Amino acid sequence: MGEVPDPQPGLDEIRVQVKTCAVCRTDLHLAEGDLAPKRFGVVPGHEIVGVVDRAGANCRRFHLGDRVGIAWLASTCGRCRFCIAGRENLCLDPRFTGWDQDGGYATYAVVKEAFAYALPPGFDDETAAPLLCAGIIGYRALKRSEVPPGGRLGLYGFGASAHLALQVALSTGSEVHVMTRSPKARQLALSLGASSARDLSKAPPVPLDASVVFAPAGSVVLSALEATERGGTVVVAGIHLSPIGNLDYDKHLFQERQVRSVTANTRQDGEEFLAIAQRIRLQLSTIPYRFGEADRALSDLAHGRVQGAAVVHISDGQI
Q: Do both 85 and 18 map to the same domain?
A: yes
Question: Is residue 2 assigned to a domain?
Answer: no
Positions in the chain whose pLDDT score sits under 50 = 317, 319
* Helix (H) / strand (E) containing 81: helix 81-84
CA of 241: how far to CAs of 29, 158, 162, 220, in Å? 10, 16, 16, 10
Distance CA 27, CA 50 (A): 19
Distance CA 7, CA 300 (A): 30
Question: Is residue 291 assigned to a domain?
Answer: yes
Query: What pLDDT shows up at residue 1?
Result: 54
Q: Do both 83 and 151 map to the same domain?
A: no
Contact 280, 171 (CB under 8 A): yes
Question: Is residue 243 assigned to a domain?
Answer: yes
Task: Give the tens place of pLDDT for each residue, 33-48.
Answer: 888 888 888 899 999 9
Count structural domains, the chain: 2
Question: Is residue 298 assigned to a domain?
Answer: yes
Give the CATH number of the domain where residue 103 resides. Answer: 3.90.180.10
Q: Do both 94 and 119 map to the same domain?
A: yes
Distance CA 50, CA 70 (A): 8
Contact 239, 35 (CB under 8 A): yes
Distance CA 184, CA 186 (A): 5
Question: Is residue 3 assigned to a domain?
Answer: no
Question: Is residue 108 assigned to a domain?
Answer: yes
Distance CA 315, CA 104 (A): 11
Q: Do both 140 and 224 map to the same domain?
A: yes
* Closest to 72 measured CA to CA, from 109, 34, 33, 99: 99
Question: Is residue 220 assigned to a domain?
Answer: yes
Query: What pLDDT shows up at residue 185?
Result: 95
Q: Do both 152 and 188 map to the same domain?
A: yes
* Closest to 191 measured CA to CA, from 156, 165, 167: 167
Which residues lie across from 67 on neighbouring strands?
51
Query: What pLDDT shows up at residue 32?
Result: 84
Q: Do both 232 and 211 map to the same domain?
A: yes
Query: What pLDDT shows up at residue 34?
Result: 84
Q: Do both 157 and 51 map to the same domain?
A: no
Q: Do both 32 and 111 map to the same domain?
A: yes
Domain with 116, as residue range(s), is 13-130+285-317
Give the CATH number of the domain where residue 142 resides. Answer: 3.40.50.720
Q: Do both 184 and 107 map to the same domain?
A: no
Q: Do both 172 and 214 map to the same domain?
A: yes
Query: Residue 211 in 3-state DSSP?
Result: strand
Query: What pLDDT shows up at residue 30?
Result: 84
Q: Do both 106 and 123 map to the same domain?
A: yes
Q: Which residue, of 245, 261, 277, is where some domain finishes?
A: 261
Q: Do both 226 and 122 map to the same domain?
A: no
Question: Is residue 290 assigned to a domain?
Answer: yes
